[in-house]
Amino acid sequence: MKLIFFNVSEEERSFIQKWSFVNQIPVQMVSEGISSENIELVKGYDGICLYPSVEMRQSETIYKRLSDYGIRQLSIKSTGVDSVNFEWADKYNLTITNVPGYSPTSVGHFAIMSIMLLLRNVPLHMTERSKRKNLIGRELQDVTVGVLGTGRIGCVVAEGIYALGGNVLASSSRPNPRLKGIVNYVSFEELVKQSDVLSIHIPLNERSLYQFSDDVFAMMKPNACLVNTARGKIIDTNAMIDWLASGQAGGVALDAIENEEQYFNDDWTKNPFYKKLIQYPNVFLTPHVAFHTELAVKEITETALNNAKEILVKGESMNKISV
């Protein structure tokens, strides 16, 4: 068995090498994402790990050529699989796996940090130094923090805010039993209306696409803050910009921006949405790095490799995605 791993960062190399040695399975590492220009590198390999490229969402040819080269699985090295065209994957008999869970504290603690930054007006302090005494902060015990989605990451955020003395509301497709006595579950509409800070922890799918629209921003409390460490397209960015321009927003912290995947291999600041958002001094932007800790990278890398191995050896994986 031989595997090929695309989109390999410098931080991932040592973890891949160790996994390869322990499992006695050769793994070819490729820094670039998969594309029509380098897809021939797949020839002679049994399995593939990768982060889906923009081209994979647009070109059926990628899936056909992978199938032609004997590939029968795609091990996606992320939780989100919104970049995969499942219709084409199914057409060419490609089994999809993902990394459903990895160090939830990596993103969870980053979100808590972002919440605190906004409540204490840190983005504004960084850009408007002369107004120090005009920027009074808020403390957790004086606000309501809303958590949208209480899976592994959202649970970390809710528990963390509660432990720090905050009042936590939540809205989720399923209540998390770990949060009994910690949060009060409400509808999405009530979450939006009652939250002083709202933190997003749901996957991107047909239901959540542009869930934060003009109508939702109109329901938010004056001076409310929004944190997104999930996926950019959960928010209608143009609607959010209108909200920011209205002066009603207390602050925004984004680790995920709409269309960011188009700029992952270039310069994230070239994203037109970045250029618009950076105009607002109460916006804090980071380039999708909330997950980027040593523990998380290790777990993501090893899970992606184990998924590929399981599909090739057993024909099944607990992380197989069924659509």
Give the catalytic positions in this structure: 231, 260, 288
Burial of 134 per CB tally in 10 Å (0-12, 13-18, 19+)? exposed
Tokens at residue 308, please? 């590929």
- Rounded to whole angstroms, what are the CA distances from 317 to 29, 56, 146? 23, 23, 34
Report residue 291 as tokens: 């997950």
Q: How are the residues of the chain apportioned to helix, strand and coil, as percentages rounded to the nearest 5?
A: 45, 15, 40
Distance of CA 198 to the CA centre of its chain: 16
Cβ atoms < 10 Å from Cβ of 39:
18
Whole-angstrom distance, CA of residue 142 vs CA of residue 198: 15
Region of 288 (left: φ > 0; alpha: ψ -120 to 50; beta: rest) is: left
> Could you give the CA distance from residue 81 to residue 220 in angstroms, rounded to a whole number?
29
Cβ proximity of 105 and 85 under 8 Å: no
- Between CA 73 and CA 94 the distance in angstroms is 5
